[in-house]
């Protein structure tokens, strides 16, 4: 097997993203053949060299797997939780060391991809790739609002709004899908960024309130008719489309 960069070996082992792997190397937490390595770009043969992270030997290269989960409420989107809460990893029956691609907050449901392909995780979560994500939200408007007030609010969201830490969101797409009641609507929001709680904050910034929030698409992969709390493996074609979309 040809030599590859050390951070990719760590990412491919499914223990950290490519970016996080670089930080682990720089901080002196990685050893190769019992020697601490801090230089990024160091190349190793993952089938011959022994790579350790925090004193634990990483497994040899493993078969790559890709899962699509319809995350329910009350589950945290992390590989490990310090508070002992149930995580999305607990919902997938696999012996592989998978990690979620990005996160959904505890109260947001819907599409989440999990994989042990560290390189893909890095590409799908790094800001420069601008991976598109689509959400459906049930929102509540103020009692005295008319339809034109909602249209104006969604137009404001689409042009960019200021959220936490004075971050201004880039151009997005927001539109009404249906009216649920006199003061509630279902809307679609499509973004290219991935700030924490971004869609919720965008909706709040537009003067609206989130009742329910669900991610229904990530790039070319849609949730379809997958039931909540259920998961399936991505098809070879879906994996190929996802990698193409990730550049």
Phi, psi of 156 (to 5 degrees): -60, -45
State the Cα–Cα distance between residues 90 and 49, nearest whole angstrom.
31
C-alpha distances in Å from residue 203, one per residue of 73, 197, 213, 234: 19, 10, 11, 31
Q: CB-hemisphere CA count at 13 Å for 9?
A: 29
List the beta strands (DSSP E) in 141-247: 173-181, 184-191, 209-218, 221-222, 231-233
140: left (phi over 0), alpha (psi -120 to 50) or beta: beta
Return the DSSP state at 229: T
Kind and range of the H or E element at 21? helix 18-26
Q: Active-site residue among 45, 90, 105, 229? A: 105
100: left (phi over 0), alpha (psi -120 to 50) or beta: beta
Instruction: Clarify whether 229 is annotated catalytic.
Output: no
Would you please indicate which residues are annotated as catalytic (active-site) residues?
Answer: 105
């Amino acid at each position: 097997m040809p030599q590859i960069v050390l951070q990719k070996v760590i990412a491919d082992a499914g223990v950290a993203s490519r970016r996080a792997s670089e930080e682990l190397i720089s901080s002196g937490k990685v050893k190769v053949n019992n020697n601490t390595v801090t230089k990024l770009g160091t190349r190793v043969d993952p089938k011959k060299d022994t790579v350790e992270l925090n004193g634990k030997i990483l497994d040899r290269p493993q078969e790559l797997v890709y899962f699509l989960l319809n995350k329910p409420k009350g589950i945290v989107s992390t590989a490990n939780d310090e508070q002992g809460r149930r995580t999305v990893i607990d919902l997938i029956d696999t012996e592989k060391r998978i990690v979620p691609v990005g996160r959904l907050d505890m109260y947001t449901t819907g599409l989440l991809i999990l994989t042990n392909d560290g390189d893909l995780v890095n590409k799908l979560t790094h800001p420069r790739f601008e991976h598109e994500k689509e959400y459906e939200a049930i929102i509540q408007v103020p009692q005295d609002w008319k339809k034109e007030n909602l249209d104006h609010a969604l137009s404001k969201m689409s042009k960019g709004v200021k959220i936490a830490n004075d971050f201004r969101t880039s151009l997005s797409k927001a539109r009404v899908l249906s009216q649920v009641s006199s003061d509630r609507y279902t809307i679609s929001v499509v973004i290219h960024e991935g700030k924490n709680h971004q869609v919720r904050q965008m909706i709040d910034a537009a003067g609206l309130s989130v009742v329910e929030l669900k991610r229904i698409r990530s790039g070319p992969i849609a949730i379809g008719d997958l039931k909540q709390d259920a998961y399936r493996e991505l098809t070879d074609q879906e994996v190929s489309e996802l990698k193409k979309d990730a550049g």
